[in-house]
């Protein structure tokens, strides 16, 4: 079995990685990065996970489907945000969704 390369392993390494992120290539402001829930059981309705970034850099995450839309905003540090690691992780997630859409 092929061994995966070590990228980040400890909290210290993860913090260093997340703090080093700039704006990911290909990520656009005011664009929704959506991915459909792939739990396809017969009683499930179509649900989407959506990640987007407003022009001020705030991250927005929300779900859509039959139930009411729920959203969460993670602000930039300059806007009073206190969750820089979560915001960085959402940038990675939005990029992963964009890449998945290009491969499907």
Residue 9 in any domain: the answer is no
Do 17 and 8 form a contact (C-beta atoms < 8 A)?
yes
Angle at alpha carbon of residue 42, lines to 34 and 101, rounded to 5°: 20
C-alpha 96/C-alpha 34 separation (Å) is: 10
| Residue whose C-alpha is closest to residue 18's, from 79, 82, 87, 72 | 87
Q: pLDDT-based confidence at 101, cuts 50/70/90?
A: confident
Mean of per-residue pLDDT scores for the chain? 83
Per-residue pLDDT tens for 51-82? 999 999 999 998 877 665 678 899 988 888 89
Residue 80 in any domain: the answer is yes
Q: How many domains does the chain have?
A: 1
Whole-number pLDDT of residue 103: 73
Per-residue pLDDT tens for 22-33? 999 999 999 999
Domain hosting 79: range is: 28-103
Whole-number pLDDT of residue 89: 93
Residue 66 in any domain: the answer is yes
- Which letter does DSSP use for residue 79 in this model? G
Residue 40 in any domain: the answer is yes
């Amino acid at each position: 079995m092929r061994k995966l390369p070590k990228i980040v392993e400890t909290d210290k390494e993860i913090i260093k990685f997340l703090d080093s992120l700039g704006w990911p290539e290909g990520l656009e402001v005011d664009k929704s990065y959506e991915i459909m829930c792939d739990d396809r059981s017969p009683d499930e309705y179509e649900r989407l996970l959506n990640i987007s970034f407003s022009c001020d850099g705030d991250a927005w995450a929300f779900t859509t489907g039959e139930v009411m839309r729920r959203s969460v905003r993670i602000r930039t540090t300059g806007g009073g945000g206190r969750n820089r690691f979560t915001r960085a992780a959402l940038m990675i997630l939005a990029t992963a969704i964009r890449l998945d859409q290009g491969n499907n």
